[in-house]
Amino acid sequence: MDGNRKRGQKLALLSNVNMNLVIRMLQKQVEVYETEGYGNELGILMNPSSSYHAFGPDITFLAEDLMELLEHDLDPEAAGERIDGWFARLEEALVSAQIYYIADAYLQGAELAAADRGRKAALEGLWQRRLEEFCKIHANVRILPYHRLVETLGEENAFSLKMWYMGRILLSNEAQKRLCALILDRVRVESGIPKKVLLLDLDNTLWGGLAGEHDRTPVVLSEEHAGLAYKNLQRLLLEMQKQGVLLGIVSKNNEQDAMEILKKHPHMVLRPEAFAAKRINWTPKHENIREIARELNLGLDSFVFWDDSPAERQLVKEMLPQVEVPDFPDKPEELAPAMAEIFREYFEKAFITEEDRKKTAQYTAFSERNRLREVSGSFEAYLRDLEIAVRRMDPKRHVERLLQLMNKTNQFNLTTRRYTRAQIAELLEDADRGVYLYNVADRFGDNGITAVLIADCSGEVPVLTDFVMSCRIMGRKIEDALVEDVEKDLRSRGWDRLRGMYLPTAKNAPVSGLYERLGYVEVGAAGEKGILYEIGLAKTPERRYDVRMEEQEPEAGK
């Protein structure tokens, strides 16, 4: 492999037009499939003996030219049939272990000049609706924003008639470079671990002006001029929050003055409930950030801090080097574009799960649980009052969430083994592996799917090779109930012993003594640094916890 090329995921770019030059650009950075011409993309996908399947890409990008796919027939009924047929054939070829990006459509062609007004948008809409439906059905399929790429460049700059007639190369040199960059960006997102929390200042950040002086100098937040720039920033932040980015406030202010604006200002888009944590006081900001990290039970490396003050940013950089501190723009009109870049760099996810969309509510409930703990007479009373309920879920229905848990959880992770999508797919089909996935809820709300245990039953004694739990449900003895549930299931299948592995890392010290506490006995080593524990299943120790086990989720297709 070329020494300048990045090692990592293997890609394929398939199309019904000539993409050889884009493939050459990509090959300078990553390993890319050498396509067998163009126009037979579905054929090679559906043929298990093709060189494509021998290559075995991790991510396949499908960039279709809609006009070619429609065979230049602009009749909507005929177009609908061709589009449906294309997706039906693709569905037959999908492999669960791979990720697919399908480009949205940009219809272009000489004949559109004489077509009915609106025909272009209508035909693009047919493709878009079918593509969105397809993505909802298949969790491993994403949309590649090709249409936006062309719109940004403009048709006259995106396409090259000369290159099209010479060699069926649709895109101009500049458009090919941008498509290459877009594909590499998607690869980055697929392999990255996003941050979780964006902490924001208030004055001259979420609005212009000072909260404590708004009676004399009105806060700059409106539908015009600089006020609109701040409002548009808030609109963008709200969309980020809906996609699972936790928002927090760290501001030096009188809390009453700031809360009055948050609650009552007519142009305020982000109301108090949009924030998972708030520190509005005169405490040094790095101390407030540490408090929020403890409150949310998250590592400092999960945070991004954004403040208009260079002095505050520098202090946080020095005192909390784990926290990311992006620069702040000089002009209000640059606020939203700067935040869009922050989103892309630190928070963007390839796939948004239901748990992501519920994040703010879940972490707000987390704070309410902490307040309940403070007023409860004892820890036992606190756990009893929580009314915790656990339900075992079908892992095949929740592959994306399973991947998130396995690859992004560090503190409550007994072995910290990471999995590719292909490995997860293989795991779920392995009769000798048991994947126990759990949803946890309580009186304050649904925590979502937050725990997984994996048992390897291929040997003489089953082994818990993985035990992962989200940090937001730690400290409530839920793990006791989960281990007991797995023990009961394995005992019902005829096993009389169970082993568990612990591999220490820099971050999973909180679970170092878990197996001893649960009654397991050390029996040997697991690799160079790991420890292997064992328990007899005929009579396990009595464990006290307040967790109600609910009926299992039905398996997919039942």
Radius of gyration of the chain (CA): 27
Which parts of 42-168 are beta strand (E)?
59-63, 99-103, 141-144
Determine the number of helices (DSSP H) and then strands (DSSP E) in the chain. Answer: 22, 17
- pLDDT above 90 covers a percentage of the chain that reads 80
Q: Which domains does the chain have, with CATH numbers?
A: 10-191 (3.40.50.1110), 197-349 (3.40.50.1000), 377-550 (3.40.630.30)
How far is CA 335 from its chain centroid?
24
Name which residue leads in pLDDT, 408 or 342.
342
Residue 10's DSSP bridge partners are 31
Phi first, then psi, for residue 476 (nearest 5°) are -130, 15
In 3D space, the residue among 428, 453, 462 whose CA is nearest the CA of residue 536 turns out to be 462
Give 284's contacts (C-beta < 8 A, 6+ positions apart). Answer: 315
Instruction: Return the pLDDT at 240.
Output: 96
Instruction: Return the pLDDT at 216.
Output: 66
pTM, two decimals, is: 0.74
The single-letter code of the amino acid at 382 is: Y
Tell me which of 64-73, 98-107, 208-217, 333-342 is least confident. 208-217
Distance CA 31, CA 9 (A): 7
pLDDT at 114 over 60: yes
Instruction: Return the pLDDT at 27.
Output: 96
The single-letter code of the amino acid at 230 is: Y
* H or E element at residue 247: strand 246-252
The torsion region of residue 431 among left (phi > 0), alpha (psi -120 to 50) and beta comes to: alpha
The 10s digit of each residue's pLDDT in 120-176 is 999 999 999 999 999 988 989 999 999 999 999 999 999 999 999 999 999 999 999
Instruction: Return the pLDDT at 89.
Output: 96
Q: Residue for token digits 């294309």? A: 86
Instruction: Return the pLDDT at 97.
Output: 85
Query: Is residue 244 within 8 Å of 352, Cβ to Cβ?
Result: yes
Expressed in angstroms, the distance from the first to the final Cα of the chain is: 47
Phi first, then psi, for residue 71 (nearest 5°) are 55, 35
Distance CA 93, CA 12 (A): 14
The single-letter code of the amino acid at 23 is: I
Token digits of residue 1: 């492999």
pLDDT at 6 over 50: no
The 10s digit of each residue's pLDDT in 201-210 is 999 999 999 9
Interstrand relation of 445-456 and 463-469 (parallel, antiparallel or unpaired)? antiparallel
Give 116's contacts (C-beta < 8 A, 6+ positions apart). Answer: none
Per-residue burial over 101-113, b = 16 or more CB atoms within 10 Å of its CB, e = otherwise: bbbbbbbebeeee
Give 504's contacts (C-beta < 8 A, 6+ positions apart). Answer: 512, 529, 530
Token digits of residue 229: 């720039």
- pLDDT above 70 covers a percentage of the chain that reads 97
Distances (CA, A) of 325 to 151, 312, 340, 482: 32, 10, 15, 38
DSSP character for 213? G
Query: Is residue 359 within 8 Å of 349, Cβ to Cβ?
Result: no
pLDDT at 8 over 60: no
**Helix, strand or coil, per DSSP, at residue 439:** strand
Distance CA 480, CA 478 (A): 5
Query: Is residue 508 within 8 Å of 441, Cβ to Cβ?
Result: no
Instruction: Return the pLDDT at 215.
Output: 62
pLDDT band at 371 (very low <50, low <70, confident <90, very high): confident
Instruction: Return the pLDDT at 5.
Output: 46
Per-residue burial over 473-493, b = 16 or more CB atoms within 10 Å of its CB, e = otherwise: bbebbbbbbbbbbbbeebbee
